[in-house]
Structure 1
Amino acid sequence: MSQNKALLFVNGDPPPLHVFCNLEKYTYIACTDGAYHNYLSTSSIQPDFLIGDLDSYNPNGKIPPKTEIIHTPDQNKTDFEKALLFLISKGITSFDVFGATGRASDHFLGNISVAMQYYHQYQITFYDNYCHFFFIKHYQKMTNVKDHIISLIPLSKVTGLTITGFQYPLIDQTLSLGSSISLRNKAISDVVTISFKDGDLMVFIEDSKNVN
């Protein structure tokens, strides 16, 4: 078991649940009530916590005996944020999040907005059926990424950006939405580095099943 790491399912496009064969590495498995109702309830995965305002909860549905229902009715926060805060209160510092994309684009953007508030203190990595993505903190070295497509999306103005190990390297560049971003670059080395001075930068890494 990896200490202080949680697997969290939220209510977007269902992930391929058959790939979850190493659940023991997580301290907790949790889901929002929408994720459980829409796809997790038909899987063999039994979450430790079902969290949310319960607007999607079916009281007549079968809930595993081990699953604790956490009612969080605060309408000023999304179920994703409430799930993060509950798990943080349990000592979690790292999150693998599935189901944050798809179904409703506004929910996806809301999930990114929530992550933007917490990534300085916690590691939040999103996964979908094509890639994984996360905020970086001024410097990141990534390994085993050769031939993967990598995009850099600034959520605020990013200055002093330098990247190495890419087909199209950058040195001391500025990225900003509405001006310049870095889409569909390619790692040409097993090790790449990304560094920048200021701003909020998301990195999207295309997963190996999509690599030619």
Structure 2
Amino acid sequence: MSSHHIVREKQEPALIIANGEACSFELLGQLLEWSPFIVVLDNAIHRVIELGIKVDVLLGDFDHNINLTEIEQNQYPIEIIHAPDQEKTDLEKAFDLLITRGFPAVNVVWATGRRADHSITNMTNIVRYKSKLHIVLIDDYSVIYPLLPSPAVFEKWYSKGTPVSLIPVGSAVGIRTENLLYGLDNEELTLGYRAGNSNEAASDGVVRITYESGDLLLMECHD
């Protein structure tokens, strides 16, 4: 895959391809069109090569059989980064790499589906990076990203009825919303006890969300 667009590094989000459930080829192609820097995690490289995608970085602990020489020849030039730290997931290591290199934003695909433990870890761990890197997890059914607490204000235009779910990671306190069907006014959400799933835009227009402290994910999901 190649892009005919002029895409400048660090002016568009980087792209991380993890090793979970694949998204549609159409969605992946749309993201690749605007991605100046592509990082693939560990054994996902074999699936990426099968799709004919050229990448910039292969990163992982490489604790499974992987022929790096063959991959280097197939993807030349490619930067191969061995990251053996077992205290972090490969996805977290990729976030660290992008932060170190000055990228402000990244889209992530193939990070959900397949193993449930990997999916929930990937979805919740992104809150740790919310002040350093704008992260968006994307699959065929969902767009997921963390919101920053006050004084930041989330504002986005939605058409009436668009699903908008607010999912706390731990607890999120002092949540206020405008233009959601089920509004929140200085309320608290706690994972496992009270979440804000299956809300929706009350009318065509801007939805506004603020919260005082904690960690809060916004999920735009569809069937």
Q: TM-score, normalised by structure 1?
A: 0.88
2:4 match: none
Question: For residue 79 of structure 1, what is the amino acid of its counterpart?
Answer: D
Query: In structure 2, do the counterparts of structure 1 residues 178 and 21 end up closer, same or farther at CA, with 3 Å as the change threshold?
Result: closer
Q: In the TM superposition, what whole-angstrom CA distance separates every residue of 1:115-142 from its partner, at most 9, and x where no partner exists?
A: 1221122101101110101110122101
Task: Report if the CA contact (8 A) 1:157-1:174 is conserved.
Answer: yes
Q: In the TM superposition, what whole-angstrom CA distance separates every residue of 1:52-93 from its partner, at most 9, and x where no partner exists?
A: 012345315563223222111222221111111122222212
1:122 match: 133
* Distance (whole Å) between structure 1 residues aligned to residue 171 and residue 124 of structure 2: 15
1:23 match: 32
1:174 match: 188
Question: For residue 138 of structure 2, what is the amino acid of its counterpart?
Answer: Y
* Distance (whole Å) between structure 1 residues aligned to residue 31 and residue 114 of structure 2: 27
- 1:144 is displaced (CA, Å) by 3.7
Question: For residue 28 of structure 1, what is the amino acid of its counterpart?
Answer: F
Question: For residue 53 of structure 1, what is the amino acid of its counterpart?
Answer: D
Counterpart pick for 2:87 among 60, 63, 76 = 76
165-174 or 92-101, which deviates more: 165-174
Query: In structure 2, do the counterparts of structure 1 residues 145 and 88 end up closer, same or farther at CA, with 3 Å as the change threshold?
Result: farther
73-82 or 196-205, which deviates more: 73-82
Question: For residue 189 of structure 1, what is the amino acid of its counterpart?
Answer: D
3-state SS of 2:102 partner: coil
1:50 match: 58
Moved over 4 A (4+): none
Question: For residue 117 of structure 2, what is the amino acid of its counterpart?
Answer: D
Q: TM-score, normalised by structure 2?
A: 0.84
Counterpart pick for 2:107 among 92, 96, 116 = 96
Aligned residues: 207
* Distance (whole Å) between structure 1 residues aligned to residue 8 and residue 180 of structure 2: 31
* Distance (whole Å) between structure 2 residues aligned to residue 153 and residue 77 of structure 1: 23
2:19 match: 11
Task: Within 5 Å, give how 1:108-187 maps onto structure 2.
Answer: 108-138=119-149, 139-187=153-201
* Distance (whole Å) between structure 1 residues aligned to residue 64 and residue 157 of structure 2: 40
1:66 match: 77
Task: Report if the CA contact (8 A) 2:168-2:195 is conserved.
Answer: yes
3-state SS of 1:14 partner: coil
3-state SS of 1:8 partner: strand
Counterpart pick for 1:193 among 208, 212, 216 = 208
* Distance (whole Å) between structure 1 residues aligned to residue 60 and residue 42 of structure 2: 6
* Distance (whole Å) between structure 1 residues aligned to residue 35 and residue 214 of structure 2: 31
What is the root-mean-square deviation of aligned Cα atoms in Å?
2.0
Structure 1 segments unaligned to the other structure (5+ residues): none
Identity among equivalent positions (%) equals 30
